[in-house]
A and B are shown apart, each in its own frame.
Chain A
């Protein structure tokens, strides 16, 4: 069977049902363990004091925010090339979740920045590109809402997603590109010199897995809702034609 058959709306609804429960349970478990471990059972960090505890929500939220846009990019490309409706609906479903994660990253970053940098906000490359990413999420959601024809909306939002991908990329690599600003480098890295100490890294990775599972669970529920909404609109349109 071709992989594209899984994107058939009826097939998608049948195979994703069990995964909603699975990913919801995994999300609750990993977020719970990661945050409790990080909050209650890790020491203060040298130079950062107890503010290091914000890392367990800030880094996972920022990572999911960027990867949600990457997922939307892949789904948009599939829509543009193969015209699979489920891929367009999945991109639409991911946007509010990605926007929420971007907001969490911005807010927790600002709260952390005030005591550490002495300011809530700076026009630093990474912070600025993240703010622009948030605005792209807002624009993407608004564009879907503004256009009645779903295929036209999918076309235009896909193009917007391609453009916004530049800022998603910048959000990830801004520190490397400009090598300036307040924001430090990667907290999670394969480079042992760069990434945080193991005592912080372990709960951070668990929390990151939890946020990722949460994203997938919400994505599945929201995509299933979009598929149902599409079927509902079709039935309502048919009703109107019959009654006219």
Chain B
């Protein structure tokens, strides 16, 4: 760990906020992708059965 001196809190806060926001957008993107894909597969199966 580098010596961040008196700015350690500021630097770590900036990196933590970035990590949180990036994890948030990646997580939301992945979750919605999975949900929509699963819902589409169910709808296509129903459509196939109904002709």
Contact = CB atoms under 8 A, between A and B. Distances in A.
A104 B19 CA distance: 9
Given A54-B14, A236-B43, A49 B7 contact: yes
Contacts of A108: 14, 17-18
Contacts, number: 97
Interface in A51-69: 51, 53-54, 57-58, 61
A104 B21 CA distance: 7
Interface in B1-45: 1-8, 10-11, 13-15, 17-18, 21-22, 24-26, 28-30, 32-33, 36-37, 39-40, 43-44
Contact of A104 (B18, B32, B37): B18
Contacts of B44: 235
A39 B30 CA distance: 28
Given A104-B21, A218-B26, A239 B46 contact: yes
Interface residues of B, number: 34
Given A39-B15, A235-B47, A54 B25 contact: no
Interface string A88-104: 00000000110010011
Nearest to A243: B50
B10 A115 contact: yes
8 contacts: A35-B15, A39-B2, A51-B11, A108-B14, A218-B25, A229-B36, A235-B40, A239-B50
A218 B29 contact: yes
A51 to B, nearest CB: 5
Most buried by A among B33, B37, B39: B33
Given A224-B33, A238-B47, A111 B21 contact: no
